[in-house]
Amino acid sequence: MKIALAQLNYHIGNFSKNKRKIIQKIQHAEKAGADLVVFAELAISGYPPRDFLEFDDFIKKCNSAIEEIAGHCTTIAAIIGTPVFNPNSKGKPLYNTAAFLSDGKVQKHFYKTLLPNYDIFDEYRYFEPNRIYEVLSFKGFNIALNICEDLWNVQENPLYTVNPMDEVIGQNPDFIINIAASPFNYHQIDIRTEVLRKNAKKYNLPLFYVNHVGAQTELLFDGGSLVMDRKGKILNEMACFEEDFQIYDLDNVIKGKVIRGVTNHRPVIAMIHDALVMGIRNYFEKLGFSKAILGLSGGIDSAVTAALAAEALGNNNVYNVLLPSRFSSSHSVDDAIRLSENLNMPYDIIEIEKPFSAFEKTLKPFFKNLPFDVTEENLQARIRGVILMALSNKFGYILLNTSNKSEAAVGYGTLYGDMNGGLSVLGDVYKTRVFELARYINRHSEAIPENIITKPPSAELRPGQKDTDSLPDYESLDEILYQYIEKRQGPKEIIEMGFDEKLVRRILKMVNTNEYKRYQTPPILRVSSKAFGMGRRMPIVARYLS
């Protein structure tokens, strides 16, 4: 038997496009002699459909698409992820389903048992868990068919009281097929591979795994579909961050023959780079936009954002606007111009002195002779935000936000100013890693001027300002933030690591008191295991560590 794996980039709710892609791959697999072609979890709807699942019309469109696709499965079979209505009167209204299609119709539904309800997942909000366990019999083989999380209950501290594979192993399956929607973070490939390996070894079965690829707003799916033998050895890995399609001879898989020696275990910074480029590109494509705008300050965050956007969208589609003030250094302007010229990106210079002076004059009677402070600093950022949004409105650009995760964590940004944007590119990338990204972008040639990378970071909102005037050094700040945000360590545990107590308490207070700002940020491309946004839900009006 020959099994095809189709790793595709779906578009949530775009039934005609998703359906067309699936049918094309079914026909391709059929012509290539495959007996079965496998698609990812919730392929029909795209993942995650979220509250679209509350609309009966949405589910009916999924069902209609599946029925149409089934008509193309006459001499080939297919497994496709889709939501279906729960036929029972009790329980949640839907099942997360793997539909088995053959002989021109939907033959059987296999439901997902383990419904994740943590981090970015909220499947138990919509779906009823499966309680009937059976194998799929096809062409003389018994297949343990399951969906994503159903294989993840093999960790040392299992989240669930049931393990679906334990329930079907007594039915003597010959191999496992797992269809998934497993989002990217820079630890995920290693974790996912180990989970799959544990299953293959524990149950002594070959394993076929199909994942989504592509970006769905902030969630990035890396693909990385694979085939393992019964000992957990990877026989083949499919591409990361791009669509892929492979056909496997089951006999060779059972014998443990390596099909193609490809590995996706590359340096973390390379994976983050590719994920962000894909995230930008897909966000624009799926919204129907092609051009970006951003404020290019001469600093490293906007430089890295511009370089990533140029790679994702094409250099002519990234419009850089330099917005110098009376406090901007000449080298910052020169560095921004040089970056634009290095990458052949269009740019303009718009001085903000006139509107800033006008605001100073207008507000002077009402500021009651109080001295220059953060108010005037924020005013400059907000003027820049107004200009960028005006250009965005006038010409149909999407404004890219350039704030990094370190700044977002401690509130080092101005609401309705430099926190504006339709998409946050670096909001899940700590400042120290932004420097790594700059070096990676420059690995072949100097796209980002060296001076941008080496000069001390500064917002340039007052004379001689540096980030370290308001923040600890980024090496210490980022490590403390990582321990608190990603690792969920409390102040006592972080202090015991050797960090200064006053510094730790100050940083954690800054994180928690600035939650209100993060509620108003654009969607953030997720590359870590704990990004700001849907996967980190914190109250605003709270007193914990604040």
| CATH code for the part of the protein at 2-265 | 3.60.110.10
Q: Would you state the structure tokens that stand for residue 19, as one six-digit string?
A: 């359906």
Is 112 a catalytic site residue? yes
Question: Among 434, 526, 12, 486, which Cα is nearest to 221's?
Answer: 526
- Choosing from 128, 148, 311, 530, the catalytic residue is 148
Tens digit of each residue's pLDDT (9 = 90 or more) over 333-355? 999 999 999 999 999 999 999 99
Q: Quote the mean pLDDT of the chain.
A: 95
Is 218 a catalytic site residue? no
* Contact (Cβ atoms closer than 8 angstroms) between residue 292 and residue 284: yes
Domain positions in the chain are 2-265, 271-469
Tens digit of each residue's pLDDT (9 = 90 or more) over 469-501? 778 899 999 999 999 999 999 999 999 999 999
* Contact (Cβ atoms closer than 8 angstroms) between residue 149 and residue 111: no
Share of the chain above pLDDT 90, in %: 92
Residue 156 amino acid letter: E
- Choosing from 61, 112, 517, 530, the catalytic residue is 112
- pLDDT recorded at residue 261: 54
- Choosing from 30, 41, 128, 377, the catalytic residue is 41
User: What is the C-alpha to C-alpha distance for residues 50 and 121, in angstroms, rounded to an integer?
Assistant: 9
Q: Would you state the structure tokens that stand for residue 75, as one six-digit string?
A: 């001499």
pLDDT class for 327, splitting at 50, 70, 90? confident
pLDDT class for 157, splitting at 50, 70, 90? confident
User: What is the C-alpha to C-alpha distance for residues 238 and 6, in angstroms, rounded to an integer?
Assistant: 10
Average pLDDT over residues 320-329: 90
User: What is the C-alpha to C-alpha distance for residues 176 and 229, in angstroms, rounded to an integer?
Assistant: 10
Q: Cα 358 from chain centroid?
A: 42
Q: Would you state the structure tokens that stand for residue 138, as one six-digit string?
A: 């096809």
Torsion (CA) 427, 431, 435, 441 in degrees, nearest 10: 0
* Contact (Cβ atoms closer than 8 angstroms) between residue 512 and residue 539: no
DSSP letters spanning 330-358 = HHHHHHHHHHHHHTT--EEE---HHHHHH
Say which DSSP state 371 is in.
Answer: P
pLDDT class for 10, splitting at 50, 70, 90? very high
Residue 172 amino acid letter: N
Residue 234 amino acid letter: I
Q: Cα 207 from chain centroid?
A: 25
H/E segment holding residue 320: strand 318-322
Is 148 a catalytic site residue? yes
Tens digit of each residue's pLDDT (9 = 90 or more) over 425-437? 999 999 999 999 9
Contacts of 393 (CB under 8 A, 6+ apart): none
* Contact (Cβ atoms closer than 8 angstroms) between residue 208 and residue 6: no
* Contact (Cβ atoms closer than 8 angstroms) between residue 298 and residue 452: yes
Contacts of 405 (CB under 8 A, 6+ apart): 426, 427, 428, 429, 430, 431, 481, 528, 532
156-172 b/e (C-beta count within 10 Å ≥ 16 → b) = eeeeeeebbbebbbeee
Q: Is 7 helix (H, G, I), strand (E, B) or coil?
A: strand
User: What is the C-alpha to C-alpha distance for residues 230 and 303, in angstroms, rounded to an integer?
Assistant: 47
| CATH code for the part of the protein at 271-469 | 3.40.50.620
Q: Would you state the structure tokens that stand for residue 9, as one six-digit string?
A: 């980039």
Q: What is the pTM of this model?
A: 0.95
pLDDT beyond 90 at 467: no
